[in-house]
Amino acid sequence: MRRFTWVVLGAILLSGLAIYSSNTVVAQGPARQETREAHDARMAWWRDARFGMFVHWGLYSELAGDWKEYKVNQGGAEWIMSYANIPRDEYRQLAQTFNPTGFDAAAWVATAKNAGCKYIVVTSKHHEGFSIFDASNSKYDIVDGTPYQKDTLAAIADECRKQGIHFCTYYSIMDWDHPSQTKPDNAYNPTGVIAERKQEYVDYMKEHLRQLVQDYGTEVLWFDGEWVDWWTEEDAQDLCRFLWDLNPNLIINNRVGKGRRGMNGFADEGKDQEYSGDFGTPEQELPAMGRPGVDWETCITMNTTWGFNKNDHQWKSRETLVRQLVDAASKGGNYLLNVGPTAAGEIPPESIERLAAMGDWMKIYGESIYGTTSNPFPETPWGRCTVKAHDGGTTLYVHLFGRVEDGKLVIPAFLGGAMAKSAKWVGGDAVEFTVLDAGKSGTEIIVPTELPNTIDSVIAIEY
d(CA 90, CA 88) in angstroms, rounded, equals: 5
- Min. distance of Cβ 257 from ligand FHN in angstroms? 15
- 178 or 384: CB nearest ligand FHN: 178
User: Looking at residue 297, what DSSP letter applies?
Assistant: E
- Min. distance of Cβ 174 from ligand FHN in angstroms? 8
- 223 or 433: CB nearest ligand FHN: 223
- Min. distance of Cβ 76 from ligand FHN in angstroms? 6
Interactions with ligand FHN, residue window 297-336 (CB under 6 A)? 299, 306
- Min. distance of Cβ 410 from ligand FHN in angstroms? 40
Beta bridge partners of 291: 294
Q: Which segment (71-79, 361-369, 414-422, 433-441) binds ligand FHN by CB under 6 A? A: 71-79
**Would you say the C-alpha torsion 298, 44, 278, 192 has a positive or negative sign?**
positive
- 283 or 312: CB nearest ligand FHN: 283
By CB under 6 A, is residue 78 in contact with ligand FHN?
yes
- 132 or 411: CB nearest ligand FHN: 132
Cα–Cα distance list, 228 to 18, 190, 191, 257 (Å): 43, 9, 5, 11
What number of chain residues touch ligand FHN (CB under 6 A)?
Answer: 7
Q: How many CA atoms lie within 13 Å of 310's alpha carbon, on the beta-carbon side?
A: 12
CA 124-94-255 angle, to 5 degrees, is 30
- 339 or 455: CB nearest ligand FHN: 339
In 3D, which of 372, 300, 294 has the Cα closest to residue 330?
A: 372
- 310 or 388: CB nearest ligand FHN: 310
- Min. distance of Cβ 61 from ligand FHN in angstroms? 12
The answer to whether 178 touches 129, Cβ cutoff 8 Å, is yes
Question: What sections of 296-377 are H helices per DSSP?
Answer: 318-330, 349-365
Taking phi over 0 as left and psi of -120 to 50 as alpha, with beta for the rest, 397 belongs to beta
- Min. distance of Cβ 283 from ligand FHN in angstroms? 5
Q: Which segment (8-16, 76-84, 187-195, 453-461) binds ligand FHN by CB under 6 A? A: 76-84
Looking at beta carbons, which residue is closest to ligand FHN? 306
- 79 or 216: CB nearest ligand FHN: 79
Helix (H) or strand (E) holding 89: helix 88-92
Q: Which segment (73-81, 378-386, 392-400, 450-458) binds ligand FHN by CB under 6 A? A: 73-81
d(CA 208, CA 53) in angstroms, rounded, equals: 22
Strand pairing of 408-411 and 443-446? antiparallel
- 20 or 188: CB nearest ligand FHN: 188
In 3D, which of 197, 94, 81, 204 has the Cα closest to residue 138?
A: 204
d(CA 180, CA 174) in angstroms, rounded, equals: 10
Q: Which segment (72-80, 157-165, 179-187, 197-205) binds ligand FHN by CB under 6 A? A: 72-80
- Min. distance of Cβ 263 from ligand FHN in angstroms? 7
- Min. distance of Cβ 422 from ligand FHN in angstroms? 42
The answer to whether 290 touches 50, Cβ cutoff 8 Å, is no
Query: What strand order describes the sheet that includes 433-435?
Result: 408-411, 443-446, 433-435
The answer to whether 211 touches 241, Cβ cutoff 8 Å, is no
The answer to whether 387 touches 396, Cβ cutoff 8 Å, is yes
- 307 or 345: CB nearest ligand FHN: 307
d(CA 286, CA 297) in angstroms, rounded, equals: 9
Interactions with ligand FHN, residue window 362-421 (CB under 6 A)? none
- Min. distance of Cβ 127 from ligand FHN in angstroms? 6
- Min. distance of Cβ 386 from ligand FHN in angstroms? 25
Q: Which segment (75-83, 203-211, 310-318, 420-428) binds ligand FHN by CB under 6 A? A: 75-83
Query: What residue ranges bind ligand FHN (CB under 6 A)?
Result: 76, 78-79, 224, 283, 299, 306
